[in-house]
Amino acid sequence: MDIHTNIPLKNYLTMKIGGNARFMTEVHSREELAAVCENAKSKNIPIFIIGGGSNVIARDEGYEGLVIRIRIPGFEIISEDDSSTTIRIGAGENWDSVVKRSVDMKLSGIEAMSGIPGTAGATPIQNVGAYGQEIADTLQSLEAYDLETKSFVTMQNSECGFSYRDSIFRSSSAGRYIITSITIVLSKYMPKPPFYDSLQRYLDEKQIKIFTPDIIRNTVLEIRKDKLPDPAVQPSAGSFFKNAIVDKWQAEQLKPSYPDMPMFEMADGRFKIPTGWLIEKTGLKGQLINGMRISPNNALVLINESAHSYDELAKARDEITIKIRDMFRIQIEQEPLEM
């Protein structure tokens, strides 16, 4: 296991900005992870974890610590019965490859999360989701290395504190656990409509009336091809903003002024408002701000056309958030993590 020094983070993050990491290494097993973490902790060197680098933003000053790239493999069927199959997946596995493999096995539960970049181990951190599915729906448990106790722990779904694009791994326990594997339970039954609104509309337009995991996967990939740029071609971090969450009273205040504003009631009584819609209403969709292009196809996506610094990205982000706050009195949040 090699540890490299002064590594440009922009070469490992899909937004293609950021300074240098003081140290960087890859780990391919639980044992390697434990060893490198104990060594770093003994020298008081901070640790930051990345998978595919698609949901992380680095600052211009870089990271004065050790960046660990998780490459732990694994795809193992743990158990199955007449209705479901339980699979343990290494944290370093490419997420879309995991989805494809499960779809090839005719299993459902994660097919709508096709095309999401990154690794399997990153999915619980922000409770990754798309088109009506999220990892919290299928995750049974996960294994992680606990930096405080220097031991491996198994955490059940109920211990992860999942909520919309959030978990304890990016809130109350941020930086404590390093996920090494996830265990998910997938269904042997076919997906059933109605599906997520935009997905259902596309299926209806194409007059698709038979629903299998591979049909849903292929449909989602088609939708994403038009709406989300390939970060390997156009540098981005995917959806840069979370959808807005507002209390019921605020939703009721907004509706008379914006009767066409889409709102979706959540289980806790609050309402989710698509941030892409909010950005469109400000007139910023498609505009270039400090080298960052607000995608003309999906206003949630910031494409790095010519920005070379975190400062340029931050100014573009702040201009968008301020305009939305001033127009709607809604404070939107950035989705990617920052190191």
CB 237 within 8 A of CB 57: yes
Q: Are strands 56-57 and 47-50 parallel, antiparallel or unpaired?
A: unpaired
Is 239 catalytic? The answer is: yes
C-alpha span between 251 and 50 (Å, rounded): 36
**Residues 111, 143, 312, 335: which is the catalytic one?**
335
**Residues 239, 293, 295, 312: which is the catalytic one?**
239
**Residues 88, 165, 224, 293: which is the catalytic one?**
165
CB 92 within 8 A of CB 179: no
Is 335 catalytic? The answer is: yes
Active site residues: 165, 239, 335
